[in-house]
Structure 1
Amino acid sequence: MKILLVDGTIIGRKTGAILEQVKGYIEDANPELELKILSLADFEHQFVDGRPLGEYNEDMQEMVRRFENADGYIIATPIFQGSIPGVLKNAFDMLHPRTMRYKPVSIVANGGTYQHHLVIENQLKPILDYFRCLVTPNYVYTHTSHFDETNSITNEDVHERLRELARVFVQYAEMSKHLSKETIDTP
């Protein structure tokens, strides 16, 4: 199975650090999964405005192809101004509604206040529900205080929650193999 680990921002280092840590824990839980990181910072973004996919630049088309070819996702996002980054929402807006259907998704996020975890519940989960993803029930939210000056996670409770997230994600990935997969060409 191909798992896409999405670094949902174009600035900062903490989100990528969390994603790398989760990647290691998933590899420990199931080394047979093919894990690829997609960093939104590596793409030239255009605003999604409803035109056909072929009218966007090659980077935008490649990003969509990577989402379409994946069998599951880890979505990593910072929380800015009480919301997910616009670049992440823009990426979701590029996707056909069936692209992520019945595929497992886990969420990791970081922010500067402890209340920002509510953004996951109030913004990100509804978007993933729209796509009909298999969202694992255990997301991990980290706070700035959980990192050292090199952006390494220093909080052991966070490590334990990330290991648990990886374990549950692997189970959801296994379960998703047996669900009907509708192609994005199906009306």
Structure 2
Amino acid sequence: MKIVALAGSIVGSKTRTATQKIVEMLQEKYPEHEVILLDLADYQLVFSDGRNYFDYEGDTKYVTETLMAADAIVIGTPTFQASIPATLKNIFDLLPVNAFRDKVVS
């Protein structure tokens, strides 16, 4: 099973710290599964422009393809202005409509 932990903010350190802890716990409890941390602060992502996710290049392609290949996704996010950060919203916009179908997302 491939599990991706997504730290959905590019500012601050609390979201990354919490998401990193989840990765460590999953790796310890389920060593047979592949667990990947995607911290959006580590990548240069373009804004969604309506293309299919596989048409992007560079970091954007890597992040979207990694999420699409995951069996389970853990999303870490702070709350800004009673909503999610724009960087995380952009990820959702980059992915196809059925991106989370048949995946466990938390």
For residue 50 of structure 2, what is the aligned residue in structure 1? 50
Q: Which has a greater percent of helix?
A: 1
For residue 16 of structure 2, what is the aligned residue in structure 1? 16
**Is this contact kept in 1: 2:52–2:95, CA < 8 A?**
no
Flag the structure with larger Rg: 1
| SS of aligned partner of 1:78 | coil
Q: C-alpha offsets along residues 25-78 of structure 1, whole Å, 9 cap, x if unaligned?
A: 223332212110011112212221213442x44221111111111111110011
For residue 84 of structure 1, what is the amino acid of its counterpart? Answer: I
**Is this contact kept in 1: 2:7–2:16, CA < 8 A?**
yes
TM (norm. structure 2) is 0.88
**Is this contact kept in 1: 2:52–2:94, CA < 8 A?**
no
Relative CO higher for 1 or 2, CA cutoff 8 Å, sep ≥ 6? 2
TM alignment of 1:108-119, pairs within 5 A: none
What do you get for the CA RMSD once the two structures are aligned?
1.5
* Unmatched segments (≥5 aa) in structure 2: none
The number of residue pairs the alignment matches comes to: 105
Q: Percent identity?
A: 39
* Unmatched segments (≥5 aa) in structure 1: 107-187
For residue 18 of structure 1, what is the amino acid of its counterpart? Answer: A
2:53 matches 1:66 = no
TM (norm. structure 1) is 0.52
